[in-house]
Amino acid sequence: MKVDLLIIGAGPAGLAAALAAAPSGAGIAVIDDNPAPGGQIWRDGPQAHLPERARTLRQALAEAGNVQVFSGSRVVALAGARRLLLEGAERGWTLAYDKLILCTGARELLLPFPGWTLPGVTGAGGLQALIKGGLPVAGERVVIAGSGPLLLAGAATARSAGATVLRIAEQASFLALAGFSARLLRWPGKAMQAMELLDAGYRASSHVLAALGRERLEAVRLQQGNRVVEIACDRLACGFGLIPNTQLGELLGCRVEQGAIAVDDWQACSLEDHFAAGECTGFGGSELALVEGAIAGHAAVGNRDLARALWPQRRHWQGFAEALARGFALDPKLKALAQPDTLVCRCEDVAFAELANRRDWTEAKLHSRCGMGACQGRVCGAAGQFLFGWTPPAPRPPLSPARIETLRCLEPEG
């Protein structure tokens, strides 16, 4: 199979890119690993409530006759020049393209602390996804901790599903949040959204110390200002912001700067005819992802005037992204959460003490199997970067577990 334009990811950036490029008449394919378009922010499911914007974009995508959407599919490996190996629920296949737009989004930064592997402890975004997928939480007591706007969004999702949110522990200081709130007036819609999500249990200068329990979570210990408090609960959702998903971009050879795929004014990568948009180029929210996706879509099919017209809008939302980064910068004291016996690599049961004196990722891997499990360093690699300053491991194919039948698609024809 071959297409003119391939888009990886059907979140806000991918949707906007496809719809911007579609009027050109180009043959377009969109690959996404979720069951339906929308990405993590507009994730569908039995308990999901999609906003009108998401439904409108999804309907427009379905009506675009020259756009094929392959949901429940993911990239496994490179299959040659401008060709990718893909796998869906039923089959594996290769797909060639002339131009490509990466809209691979971001994932949560999970930092290790005592008890973080107990049943009942998830990421903040992870809990949102589980609830939208049908996880029953009605009547459960929930504590949400970490950093960033995702904490408030996660709390709202849990509350709407019948859970009782006892505390939202934000590690950023009151002064940092006050500065962010003052700057938020430049984006009235975001200010209104923040007011709607504000929760009486929200606390600044507060972070998790430990999850407590034997067989599963029973309570959480928090540092709250100068006090240590313990709160009995059934679930703890803890996330410390987002990390751009750059693995495919790196594998293709796109330049990465400051942990994100580097792009120019046209959202073009360092690799010719390859573009990137959304949170894989840096976290800034759905509004920034939408305008970046539209710029990339227009530029990929040669509509540079339409792309350029969106530059002021992009700059407006880049300002919001910069305010987010300043307001929710992680406090270095979070590096002290892990104890010697705290697991850092949960796939291979590697404790903090086994890693603390290693010089870099390679040495840690040689001595401990750190990063050699199912997630291939996606979780512990980011944690190692924050805790020890290590450069995360370079991606290697396959990017995700794949069936033997899929890998056989790489065999030369004949």
Q: What is the CA radius of gyration of the chain?
A: 21
Q: How much is the pLDDT for 339?
A: 95
Can you read off the two tokens belonging to residue 98?
């002339």
Q: Between vectors from CA 338 to CA 230 and to CA 368, what angle results, nearest 5°?
A: 145
User: How many whole angstroms separate alpha carbon 389 and alpha carbon 360?
Assistant: 8
User: How many whole angstroms separate alpha carbon 396 and alpha carbon 372?
Assistant: 11
User: How many whole angstroms separate alpha carbon 323 and alpha carbon 36?
Assistant: 31
User: How many whole angstroms separate alpha carbon 86 and alpha carbon 84?
Assistant: 6
User: How many whole angstroms separate alpha carbon 96 and alpha carbon 192?
Assistant: 44
| 77, 85 contact by CB (below 8 A) | yes
- Contacts (Cβ under 8 Å, ≥6 apart) of 74: 31, 33, 86, 87, 399, 400
- Map 353-379 to HEC letters: HHHCCCCCHHHHHHHHCCCCCCCCCHH
Phi, psi of 175 (to 5 degrees): -65, -40
- Return the number of other C-beta atoms located less than 10 Å from residue 132's C-beta: 20
Can you read off the two tokens belonging to residue 385?
């970067």
Dihedral of the alpha carbons of 303, 305, 306, 311, in degrees to the nearest 10: 120
- Contacts (Cβ under 8 Å, ≥6 apart) of 179: 326, 327
Q: How much is the pLDDT for 164?
A: 97
Which region, left, alpha or beta, applies to residue 213 given φ > 0 means left and ψ of -120 to 50 means alpha?
Answer: left
Domains and CATH numbers, the chain: 2-107+243-324 (3.50.50.60), 110-240 (3.50.50.60), 338-414 (no CATH)
Long-range contact set of residues 309-316: C-beta below 8 Å, sequence gap at least 24? 311/265, 314/288, 316/187
Q: How much is the pLDDT for 64?
A: 94
Dihedral of the alpha carbons of 281, 282, 284, 285, in degrees to the nearest 10: 60
pTM beyond 0.75: the answer is yes
Burial of 271 (0-12, 13-18, 19+ CB in 10 A): middle
For the chain, 414 residues long, the average pLDDT of each consecutive 10-residue run is 96 97 97 89 75 90 94 95 95 97 96 97 93 93 96 93 97 94 90 85 96 96 96 97 95 95 98 97 94 98 98 96 94 95 94 93 89 86 92 87 93 65
| 110, 16 contact by CB (below 8 A) | no
Instruction: Name the one residue in this structure whose structure tokens are 């751009």.
Output: 244
* C-alpha atoms less than 13 angstroms from C-alpha of 65 in its C-beta half-sphere: 1
Nearest Cα neighbor of 283 from 34, 107, 30, 102 is: 107
- Return the number of other C-beta atoms located less than 10 Å from residue 254's C-beta: 22
Strands 256-257, 260-261: pairing kind: antiparallel
Q: How much is the pLDDT for 413?
A: 59
